[in-house]
Structure 1
Amino acid sequence: MYKFAPADQTHWDTFFGTIESGSFSNVQSLLHALFTKITFVLITGIWFLTSKNWWRFAILVPFTMFLFQLSGVISYKVKYMDEYDFWDSLPFILPIVFLVVYISYRLSVRKPKSTLDEEAKEEVRNMFSDEL
């Protein structure tokens, strides 16, 4: 899509409306950055929504980063795109990381499945045996 935009103009009149390059040098650079960020947001969003693993919340870390980067592209006042987004998104990322670490710890403390299966089978045998 961005290849259709003029590489030498700061604004582009389309049937959707006028697109201005803002802090970018031309409209083509703006659209390239915009569609790149939108693509990454969509891919990680779909991955998070379709994942059934316990660690799927870890996907929210790059998703948050991509959302902050997308907001940097959309905002015309940002001069340094993709440079301070990590520090801006850190208050959102830290709780996610702590949640994933906590879940991981709880799962590692839990007994393995094979041990639980053996205990359950032994309990069933004791219930149906003549030994009480």
Structure 2
Amino acid sequence: MKKKSKSSSDLEKSSKARVLALGSVMAFIIAISPYIFYLYESFPQEQTWDTLLFSFKTNYYSTLYVAAWNFMNKFVPLLLLIVWFFTCKHWWYHVILIPISMYIFQIVSSLNDDIEYIDEFEIYYIIPVMMVVIPIVYLIRLKLFDKVVHGIDLDKIDKELKEYEAKERDI
């Protein structure tokens, strides 16, 4: 018996340690987000960047500096929204997927040099995400509203209906 309680307490300690470590990583990411954003300042004011490992050229933007600035303006909010999504404990956290999808489409369009208009048509790509997320969140809200505000327990009602149907079949 003592071994079981010891192992369960060890599991609790390791679980708490994981939660603490994950929270520390999330706090660190949030704390360094301004530094991540300002990484664009390390890019050159030219259209081509030649290094020992690779050569990078932008055709759409006037300089790599502007391209990096545009990318960071979309990446840092996306990063913070993802942290918020995974750490949020509220019932409505699925709604955060909508701005996450918006920033993903904006990043893809800003990296694609062939697109003529950036940040103009992403809403049309987000509509399918909204069509899935909004009804799910609304249904969750309805269940919570019925249970908390009106005191209606849908599981209890279902159970009573099944008992009533069973009685009707027996008669």
Q: TM-score, normalised by structure 2?
A: 0.61
Provide the secondary structure at the position in 2 that maps to 1:42.
helix
Partner of 1:89: 126
- As a proportion of its length, which structure holds more helix? 2
8 Å contact from structure 2 (residues 81, 100) kept in 1: yes
Partner of 2:42: 4
Percent same amino acid among aligned pairs? 23
8 Å contact from structure 1 (residues 64, 93) kept in 2: no
Provide the secondary structure at the position in 1 that maps to 2:92.
helix
Question: 1:48 pairs with 82, 85, 88, which one?
Answer: 85
Query: 1:12-59, CA deviations, whole angstroms, 9 ceiling, x for partnerless residues?
Result: 123452222231121111111112211111110010001111111011
Question: 1:13 pairs with 36, 50, 59, which one?
Answer: 50
User: Which 4+ residue blocks in structure 1 deviate beyond 3 angstroms?
Assistant: 111-116
- Whole-angstrom distance in 1 between the partners of 2:42 and 2:125: 33
- Whole-angstrom distance in 1 between the partners of 2:48 and 2:149: 61
> Bigger shift: 12-21 or 24-33?
12-21
- Whole-angstrom distance in 1 between the partners of 2:150 and 2:52: 60
Unaligned 5+ segments in structure 2 are: 1-38, 154-171
Relative contact order, higher structure (CA 8 A, sep 6+): 1
Unaligned 5+ segments in structure 1 are: 117-132
Question: 1:37 pairs with 63, 74, 89, which one?
Answer: 74
Q: TM-score, normalised by structure 1?
A: 0.77
